[in-house]
Chains A and B, each alone.
Chain A
Amino acid sequence: MSTKEQPKQGPEQTFFDEPAVDRVLGVVMALATEVYVLRDRLRTVERQLEKGGQLDRGLLDAEPSLDDLALDAADRETYVAGLMQNLQGLQVSKGAAGAGGKHD
Chain B
Amino acid sequence: MTDRTMDDRSFAVAQALILETKKYWTTRLYPALKENYQHKASLQETPPQTVADVQALIGETTDYQVYAWLERHLQRFKYSGRYGLAPYHRERRDELLAPLAEMANSAGLDTDDNFEQPKYYRAVDIHQHPGGVWSAETAGFEYERGARSTTPMMGGKHRDLHQRFTDLVATGGTPSRVLDMGCGFGKSTQPFYETFGEARIDAIDLSQPCVTLGAWTAAQAQAQNTRFRQMSAFETDYKDEEFDLVTSTMLIHELPPPQIDRMFDESLRLLQSGGRMVHLDFHELPDVFSRFIHYGHGRRNNEPFMEPWAEMDVVTVLKEKGFKDVKVHSFSEAEGVDAINSPVWRFPWTVISAVKP
Contact = CB atoms under 8 A, between A and B. Distances in A.
B10 to A, nearest CB: 5
B69 A33 contact: no
A55 interface: no
B297 interface: no
Nearest to B302: A13
A16 B69 contact: yes
Interface string A68-98: 0000000000000000000000000000000
Contact of B17 (A1, A17, A33): A33
A59 B229 CA distance: 62
A1 B135 contact: yes
Q: Is the interface of B mostly helix, strand, loop or mixed?
A: helix
A33 B122 contact: no
A7 B72 contact: no
Contacts of B14: 33, 36-37
B23 interface: no
Interface in A5-34: 5, 7, 13, 15-17, 22, 25-26, 29-30, 32-34
B9 A44 contact: yes
A41 B69 contact: no
B65 interface: yes
Given A15-B65, A40-B13, A44-B9, A33 B72 contact: no
Contacts of B68: 15
Contact of A33 (B65, B81, B300): B81
Given A15-B65, A33-B83, A41-B10, A25 B73 contact: yes
Interface residues of B, number: 25
Contacts of B65: 15-17
B73 A29 contact: yes
Nearest to B15: A33
A104 B82 CA distance: 33
A33 B125 contact: no
A26 B81 CA distance: 10
A36 B20 CA distance: 12
A33 to B, nearest CB: 5
A29 B10 contact: no
Nearest to B69: A15
Contacts of A41: 9-10
A15 B72 contact: yes
Contact of A26 (B9, B10, B73): B73
B101 interface: no
Contacts of A33: 14, 17-18, 77, 81-83
A26 B82 CA distance: 12
A5 B17 contact: no
20 contacts: A13-B72, A13-B300, A15-B66, A15-B69, A15-B72, A16-B65, A26-B73, A29-B74, A30-B77, A33-B14, A33-B77, A36-B13, A37-B10, A37-B13, A37-B17, A40-B9, A40-B10, A40-B13, A41-B9, A41-B10
**10 shortest A-B CB distances, which residue pairs?**
A15-B69, A40-B13, A15-B68, A15-B65, A36-B17, A37-B10, A33-B14, A16-B65, A37-B14, A37-B13
